Amino acid sequence: MAQNIGNAQMYWLQEVSMRSRNKLAGMIALVFAAFALPAHAEYLRCKGDLAEIGDGKASVLQKCGEPVYKDTYCKASQVVSNTGNAPGSTTVNVLPCEQVDEWTYNPGPGQFLTILRFERGELRSIKYGDRVK
């Protein structure tokens, strides 16, 4: 009987130990995942208001004011291939592009520059840049 109780206690200790290790491993994985992710945000706090993903340019301008820097570039859309041309002919693919606007806001000393990316006039992403000195 004493041996059965000893086995039961050992089994219980092994179970508790395994659960604790699994929890610890899960917490460590979460910490590593948090540091591995790029610095993205879902909103930007401006003058007591929030500029959020999906907002239009006019809305962000009203909420946050004029950015310190604006950049516009053309992002290539999907490549369209043309097949079935006659031998010896030349195919010219004209790739349409999508205008992308990036606005940079400087929230002040000690804060991070904040880059807002607009596609088709809508806020698509918010990223953090370097810390302002």
Residue 91 belongs to domain spanning: 40-131
Does one domain contain both 56 and 120? yes
Q: Of 32, 37, 30, 31, nearest to 128 (Cα)?
A: 37
Residues 63 and 107 in one domain: yes
What CATH number is given to the structural domain containing 107?
Answer: 3.30.1450
| Residue 61 CB coordination number (10 Å) | 14
Query: 28 with 45, same domain?
Result: no
Same domain, residue pair 115 and 70: yes
Q: Do 33 and 8 fall within a single domain? A: yes
Residues 41-91 have pLDDT tens digits of 788 998 889 999 999 999 999 999 999 999 999 988 766 555 666 777 777
Residue with tokens 């999906």: 54
When divided into structural domains, the chain yields a total of 2
Q: Is the pTM of this model over 0.85?
A: no
18, pLDDT greater than 70: no
Distance (Å, whole) CA 66 – CA 60: 9
